[in-house]
Structure 1
Amino acid sequence: MSEGGAEAPGGLYHERQRLELCAVHALNNVLQRPCFTRQAADDICKRLAPDARVNPHRSLLGTGNYDVNVIMAALQSLGLAAVWWDKRRSLERLAPARALGFILNAPAGVSLGAVALPLRRQHWLAVRQLRGTYYNLDSKLPAPARIGGEAELRVFLRDFLSRGLCELFIVVPKAVEEAGTWLEPE
């Protein structure tokens, strides 16, 4: 079980940020249960680069900062897939109802306690729907933040992707990925 998870008001599972474990938190938040731990992510890193002296899929210090390959392998172990969203495509083509949720990646500042450092790291966060409402489940937030329905989700994602070096991954069952039904027909 992952540390730091709690059921937020409204029945949402929400893990809070610890170390550089945002990828683990994003996975658990999108899955809505404590499915992965730091150890599980480290084991995936070892499988992805078994002979590497310095593992390229996590922080040199071993505090997390896992890359997309770890997220994809973790989801695959559950029969799920992370489909990369091509930003050149209109978000109107996205079929959110066929997605389990979304994992987003964005540059974030680094701080040491209350001191902001002049560094940027990538940060993972999750978006998930519950009872018709989408929520931002960023582990840096004190609680889930309500986004709204599908129209508000598209606005949220459009705004997020417009910020530059941001990426969107649609978390779907393997069958949805293979059929390509995460995308509305043209």
Structure 2
Amino acid sequence: MDMNVNSNGVYHEKQVKELCALHALNNLFQNRDAFSKAELDEICQTLSPHVWINPHKSILGLGNYDVNVIMAALHRKGCEAIWFDKRKPPECLQLCFIHGFILNVPSDYRFGFVYLPLRKRHWIAIRQVAGIYYNLDSKLDQPQIIGQENDLMAYLKEQLDSKDKELFIVVNQEVEEKHLWEKEDYDLGAIPR
């Protein structure tokens, strides 16, 4: 058995360097070979080919990839990342058409046990495996069970209550084109601003 697969059969990569975007993508696809650091670095180069310092990753080359890299990587797998408008309730989502979620959260810089007064972003995959939703945060020692659909809705509401967190819905391109990921009766125009 792969050392990254737990007893429930859930693949989970743990944090290395600043590679949370890589881990989130591999955890989302439940496959350690879904993407490599070299592939994400190549995407960065494609996005900004003629620059000395690539704006899509850490200048130290340790990772810290931005949303553009994640979106390009998902596109290579026939998927799209859709930014979720927090003014809508998570119940507007058609979960049967959604591959998973990527949550972007603030994270503190740490040097050993010392927290530095700098902020960076952290990527977390959330997806269903064998009927159960999991938080596949690479900073966790193991996948965290969220539970069934109702538990996922409560979890997403709690996460989206924070103004600093952003949610991306991951769907295949056909679902995105036909807008199948959202229930028709939830219209943004009907939501108070």
- What band does the TM-score fall into relative to the shorter chain? over 0.9
1:106 & 1:5 partners in 2: Cα distance? 27
1:38 & 1:5 partners in 2: Cα distance? 19
CA RMSD, aligned part only? 1.2
Of 13, 16, 19, the residue aligned with 1:18 is: 16
The aligned residue for residue 181 of structure 1 is 180
- For residues 4-153 of structure 1, the aligned pairs below 5 Å read 6-34=4-32, 35-153=34-152
Bigger strand fraction: 1
Equivalent residue of 1:122, what SS? strand
Q: Whose Rg is larger?
A: 2
Normalised to the residue count of structure 2, the TM-score between the two structures is 0.92
2:151 & 2:78 partners in 1: Cα distance? 29
2:75 & 2:3 partners in 1: Cα distance? 22
Normalised to the residue count of structure 1, the TM-score between the two structures is 0.95
Segment drifting more, 135-144 vs 160-169: 160-169
Segment drifting more, 35-44 vs 110-119: 110-119
- 1:5, 1:14 within 8 Å by CA — same for their partners in 2? no
The runs of 5 or more residues in structure 2 that have no matched partner are: 186-193
1:113 & 1:31 partners in 2: Cα distance? 31
- 2:100, 2:170 within 8 Å by CA — same for their partners in 1? yes
The aligned residue for residue 191 of structure 2 is none
- 2:89, 2:157 within 8 Å by CA — same for their partners in 1? no
- 1:77, distance to aligned residue in structure 2 (A): 0.5
The runs of 5 or more residues in structure 1 that have no matched partner are: none
List 4+ stretches of structure 1 deviating above 4 A.
none
- 1:120, distance to aligned residue in structure 2 (A): 1.4
Equivalent residue of 1:157, what SS? helix
Sequence identity (%)? 49
